[in-house]
Structure 1
Amino acid sequence: MQIVIIGSGNVAYHMAKAFVQNNIHLAQIFGRNEAKLNKISEELEIPHSTKNLVDADLYIICVSDNSVEAVSKIIVKKDCLVTHTSGSLPKDILAGEYRKSSLYPLQTFSKSKELDYANIPFFVEAENNEDKKTLMDLASKISSKVMESTHEKRKYIHLTAVFACNFVNHLFSRAKEISDAQEIPFDYFLPLIDETVQKIHEIEPKAAQTGPAVRNDKRILELHEQLLKDESLEIYKTMNHSIQKMYEL
C-alpha cells in the first residue's frame, strides 16, 4: 500500500515517526513548509515535496482543523482512501470524490517530546467495512489500543481530552504563576503532580480527590481566596464549587 502523510507540524511528524518505527512504508510526506519537511525527511528518511503529490492508496491529512477541508481539495485521485486526524471534524469535511475516513490519535503532540506510540489510542471511522479494516489493521501495527468510533462519539472523546489534558495543563500554568511569584521552584511540585496522575491509574479519579474543598474546610478555602485575585480567584472558586457539588457538600 502506498501511503502519503500531508502536513509538516507536530501531528504529521509523530504520525510519520510512528509509521517508520513500526516498519510501515511511507511513499512521501507532503506539505507547504519546506524547512520543516526537510527536517522530517532527513530524520526519518522519507521522500518529501511541497509541489508534487505522489500517487497513493491512502492519504493521511495531519493539519489544523481549520485547514483540513482546503487541504483535502488538493487530492484529485478518486480511487483512494483519504483520512484526517482531527478529533472533532466529521469525515465528510473531506472535499473530494474519494473514500473518506478519520484516524484520530488520542494524544497531545510536541515535536521535542518522545512518545511511546504503542500506548496511544487510535479511533477509526470509515465509510465501509473494508476501509475500516484497512485503518484498524494499520493502526494496530502501531498501537494495541485501537477501536472503531462514530463522529458523534469522537466529539465526546475530544471533549473529554480537553478536560483531562488542556484544562489540567492550564491549571499547571496558573499554579506555576503562584509559585514563581513566591520564588518557589515549580519542580518542587512535580512529585505531587506525578503522584496525583499515577494514582488515577489505580483508582477512580472521584475516589482519589483530596484537598480542602472535598473536606469542606471553610477556614482554608477562605484563606486561599484572600491570597488570590482576578482570574485565579475565579478559577479557584469555580473549581471548589464543582468539587463540592460532585460530592454534595
Structure 2
Amino acid sequence: MQTVIIGSGNVAYHLAKALVENKIPPAQIFGRNEKELKAISQELNIPYSTKNLVDSDIYLICVSDHAVEDVSELIAKKDSVVAHTSGSLPIDILKGDYRKAVFYPLQTFSKLKKIEYSKIPFFIEAENEEDRKVLFELASAISENVMESTYEKRKYIHLTAVFACNFVNHLFSRAKEISDSQEIPFDYFLPLIDETVRKIHEIEPKSAQTGPAVRNDRRILELHEKLLKDESLAIYKTMNHSIQKMYEL
C-alpha cells in the first residue's frame, strides 16, 4: 500500500517519520510550504512536491482543521482512501469522489521533540470494513494502541485532550511568567511537574488533588490573590472555584 502525506506541519512531520522508521516510507509529502517540505524531505529522504500530487492508495491529510475541506478537493484518485487526522472534524468534511476515513493520532506533536510512536493511541473511522482494516494495518505498523471510534466519541476524546494537554500547558506558561517576573528559575518546578504527571498513572486525578483550594485555606488563597493581577488572577480564581466545587467545599 502506497501512502502520501499532505501537509508540512508537526503532525505531517511525525507521521512521515513514524512511517519511515517502520520501513513503510510515504511515496510523497505534498503541501504549499516548500521550505518546510524540503526540510522534511532532506531529513527523511522522502520526495516532496508543492505542485504535483502523485497517485496513491492512501492519502493522509495532516493540515489545520480549517484547511481540511479545501485540501480534500485536490485529490482526484477515485479508488483511493483519503483520511484526515483531526480529532474534531467529521468524516464528511472530506469532499471528493473517493473512500473517506479518519486517522487520528492522540498526541501533542512538536517537530523538535522526539516521540515514542508505539505508545500513541490511534483512532480509526472508515466508510467500510475493508478500508477500516487497511487503516488499522497502517496504524498498527506505527503503534501498539489502535482503536475504532465514531465521530461522536472522537469529539469527546479531542475535548478531553484539550483539557489534559492544551490547558495544562497554558498553565505551565502562566506559571513561568510568574517565576520569570521574580527571577526564579522555572527549572525548580520541573520535578514537581514530573511528579504530578507520574502520580496520575497510579492515582485517580481527583484523589491526587492537593493545594490550598482543596484544603479551603482562605489565608493562602487570599494571599495569592493579592500577588496576582489581570489574566493570571482570573485564572487563579476560576481554577480554585472549580476545585472547591468538585470537592463541595
TM-score normalized by the length of structure 2:
0.98
Can you list the C-alpha shifts for 1:160-199, whole angstroms capped at 9, x where unaligned?
0000011001111111111111110011011100100110
Displacement of 1:155 in angstroms is 0.6
Please give the alpha-carbon distance, in whole angstroms, between the structure 2 residues aligned to 1:2 and 1:114.
25
Please give the alpha-carbon distance, in whole angstroms, between the structure 1 residues aligned to 2:225 and 2:34.
50
Please give the alpha-carbon distance, in whole angstroms, between the structure 1 residues aligned to 2:155 and 2:121.
15
- Report 1:1-249 matches (<5 A): 1-249=1-249
**Identical counterparts, % of pairs:** 78
2:156 alignment partner, SS class: helix
Please give the alpha-carbon distance, in whole angstroms, between the structure 2 residues aligned to 1:221 and 1:89.
40
2:87 alignment partner, SS class: coil
Please give the alpha-carbon distance, in whole angstroms, between the structure 2 residues aligned to 1:222 and 1:35.
51
Displacement of 1:25 in angstroms is 3.2
Unaligned runs of 5+ in 1: none
Unaligned runs of 5+ in 2: none
Please give the alpha-carbon distance, in whole angstroms, between the structure 2 residues aligned to 1:92 and 1:24.
28
Q: CA RMSD in A?
A: 0.8
1:43 alignment partner, SS class: helix
Q: Which aligned runs of 4 or more in structure 1 are off by greater than 6 angstroms? A: none
User: What code does the residue aligned with 1:103 have?
Assistant: F
Please give the alpha-carbon distance, in whole angstroms, between the structure 2 residues aligned to 1:227 and 1:172.
18
Please give the alpha-carbon distance, in whole angstroms, between the structure 2 residues aligned to 1:230 and 1:43.
44
Displacement of 1:43 in angstroms is 0.9
Can you list the C-alpha shifts for 1:56-77, whole angstroms capped at 9, x where unaligned?
1111100010110000111011
1:82 alignment partner, SS class: strand
Displacement of 1:49 in angstroms is 1.0
User: What code does the residue aligned with 1:157 have?
Assistant: I
Please give the alpha-carbon distance, in whole angstroms, between the structure 2 residues aligned to 1:174 and 1:25.
40
1:112 alignment partner, SS class: coil
Question: 154-163 or 33-42: which moved more?
Answer: 33-42
User: What code does the residue aligned with 1:45 have?
Assistant: N
Displacement of 1:20 in angstroms is 0.5
Can you list the C-alpha shifts for 1:132-168, whole angstroms capped at 9, x where unaligned?
1111111011111111000111110110000001100
Displacement of 1:222 in angstroms is 1.0
Please give the alpha-carbon distance, in whole angstroms, between the structure 2 residues aligned to 1:93 and 1:23.
31
TM-score normalized by the length of structure 1:
0.98
**2:13, 2:111 within 8 Å by CA — same for their partners in 1?**
yes
